[in-house]
Structure 1
Amino acid sequence: MRYILILFFGLVSFGQAFSQVQVGVYHSGLSSQVGVGTNIEKKFFGEIRFLATDRLELDFGAEAIGQYNFYQSEWYNLHGGLMIGYYGDGAVGLPFGATIKPISAFQRLGILMEATPYILSDQFFLRGNIGLRMRLGGD
């Protein structure tokens, strides 16, 4: 837990020092995630996500995700990368997704659609996320 908090505050500090910060809320099946990361408009960006389980009896979960924008346009970004997570056991995955920017006058808001094949406890899973993300600060 201590290492996750250090990583979280380090990423937020890095994001504030070098670029805008983005926040997001994502939904996947029965669980949701809350994320904080660096500017998603940069070629490389990172994010820390925490499992927001409400009343479900799931283990605490956190992920560190590094991604690369393969294609960027005014309306959408295509990105993929590496996820390292902890959900009671270690997890590793390869997220691939699109962030759609539907409002031309307010492109800080994005809709994330993402698929992540990952391995947790020697089992293979495929997670689909959909959610909202927004850039804060800067121009």
Structure 2
Amino acid sequence: MQPGQYAFDQPHLRHRLVPQVESGTLMERDRRMQLSSSLEMLGIVLLELCFGELLEEQPYRTKHPSFGYGPIERIFYVAAAKEWHREVEEEAGYEYAVAVGWCLGGMLSTPSNEWRTEMFQKVVHPLESCYGHLPQHIQL
């Protein structure tokens, strides 16, 4: 593909996700925190797709100080995302709101050996259902 051309039928993300670390070097708690961080970022991406705007430009985020990239910054991003999440159901419906909410923290109450099943039920299925509600004439 040439620079400046985009394949609209393929996903493109500009978010910096949590860096991957070799799984053999992580303890179970560390893996769980890495998973939680990645899912929180997915929740933020889903919010931004829902509203067509960046979280960092929202009043929910701009009211907090900025510390660059790190654990403190992540806390403020997630807090802002959880506030913004309150508007999702009205904008995109209950199913989409459930998917975003689970990504932003619902998985923390899920036993570590069941998160994939829960994610499938709470995120993948609702998003698939939302996709099914889109008009069929949308061209990608």
Check whether TM > 0.5.
no
Greater relative contact order: 1 or 2 (C-alpha under 8 angstroms, separation 6 or more)? 2
TM value normalised by structure 1: 0.22
Q: Which has the larger radius of gyration?
A: 2
Q: More helix by proportion, 1 or 2?
A: 2
Q: TM-score normalised to the size of structure 2?
A: 0.22
Q: Which has the higher strand share?
A: 1
